[in-house]
Amino acid sequence: MGFFYYLRNYTAAFTFWVLCRGACKHYLKHMAKINAVFMGDETLMALLLRVGAQINSVTQDGFTPLHLASQSGHTEAVAQLLEGKADIHVKDKQGRTALHWAAAQGEVGVIQLLLNSGSNTNATEKEKKTPLHLAAMEGHTRAVSVLLAGKAKVGAKDMDGCSPLHYAARNGKERAARVLLASCKSKIVDDKNVWRRTPLHLAAEHGHELLVGLLLETGAKINCLDNNKDTPLHCACRDGHVGTVQRLINWTNGERANLQATNNLNKTALQKTCFYTVYGENTRLHNRTFGSKP
């Protein structure tokens, strides 16, 4: 503890010495590179800003001080940077704004500050994900609520055609999914991505039993077909999610799961279960080797 206290104070003193020696321009040009060290020290940051630090300087990854402060949840630092006219629209090399990073980390206070300063709630990064996509996939329920209140588009699609609900469903983020569904009167529950997979397909595939129940209760089509003509039941059977399979076949409030539905390989869910029981190890090896899409 003593070493880190010494190092922190030595670094601050050295910074001040460099500034006083007239080496400001070169040092401040690279402020963003050391920003993570100083971001928790509002006094030092205020000093740097007063003597002409480049508030929108960037690292090799395209991070500005505002990106770093937002990602780290330093609300006071964000407020100082915004007061100093930091550019809220700058994107890093991933195409992400400060709001993207705050959303990904669930930093509600920072999100609110950025929204109040005019950040674009629906800005997209290189994969066309909005801040709402990132908050939903991580299950940051409060962040999801704040973004929706800030006019985030609940049905926004990324480059794979996935909505925020797709990611909440895939990752088992039930509370975030509930907020998303409540915001749009269930209009997005059967949205399909580029593989024609709905949130129910993804929840079933990953064995998120509670989310499967929530989606069904919200009106999700239990027998919807993806590009392979797989139903959600096919997906649950393939990966051996017994509880999810039971939830699907025991669903009685509306259309029942079609146990005889066949996919493009002419297999029913039961036949698919048998197939993957025999060849499961090869399938897992294939997924580890070649990867899999959501």
Domains detected in the chain:
1-129 (1.25.40.20), 192-294 (1.25.40.20)
Task: Between 106 and 12, name the one with better pLDDT.
Answer: 106
Please write the tens of the pLDDT for every residue from 13-49: 444 444 444 444 444 445 444 444 345 566 666 666 6
Mean pLDDT of the chain: 83
* 50: pLDDT strictly greater than 70: no
Q: Is the pTM of this model over 0.95?
A: no
Distance set, CA 140 to CA 36, 277, 280 (Å)? 23, 36, 34
Per-residue pLDDT band for 253 (boundaries 50, 70, 90) equals very high
Average pLDDT, stretch 96-119?
98
Task: Report which residue type is found at 246.
Answer: Q
